[in-house]
Amino acid sequence: MNKADLVAEVQSSLGADSSKAAAERALDAVLEGIKTGVKKGEAVQIIGFGTFSVAHRAARQGVNPQTGEKIQIKASKSVKFKAGAGLKAIL
């Protein structure tokens, strides 16, 4: 499912009185809220769906697979998602 499919699903859930543009604005607002929360370093928890949080990766040694040379990999941040009980239940 891609974003267009998700917008169509939101539109059908909202009913016949909603437009595709309104459904897309609603989806974009939710995604922006998640991005803003994660950017601040906060966990964004949606009960029944899951939690988005920031994962910190420490600097570490790596190996270039082509040359076998050891390289230093910088510390970084990433987004982590943990599925909630409601989402796990439907799988």
Specify whether 48 is located in the same domain as 91: yes
Q: Edge-to-edge strand order for the sheet containing 76-83?
A: 44-46, 50-57, 76-83
The reply to whether 51 and 36 lie within a common domain is no
pTM of the predicted protein model: 0.78
Q: How far apart are CA 32 and CA 76, in angstroms?
A: 22
Assess whether 35 and 63 both reside in one domain.
no
Contact 7, 27 (CB under 8 A): yes
Give me the domain span that covers residue 87. 43-91
Provide the pLDDT for residue 67. Answer: 94
Task: Over range 42-61, report the average pLDDT.
Answer: 95
pLDDT beyond 90 at 51: yes
Domain match, 37 and 47 both? no
Q: Are residues 23 and 47 in the same domain?
A: no
- Whether 63 and 71 have beta carbons less than 8 Å apart is answered as yes
Give the chain's domain count: 2
User: Which tokens go with 81?
Assistant: 């998602």
What is the C-alpha separation between 40 and 72, in angstroms, rounded?
Answer: 27
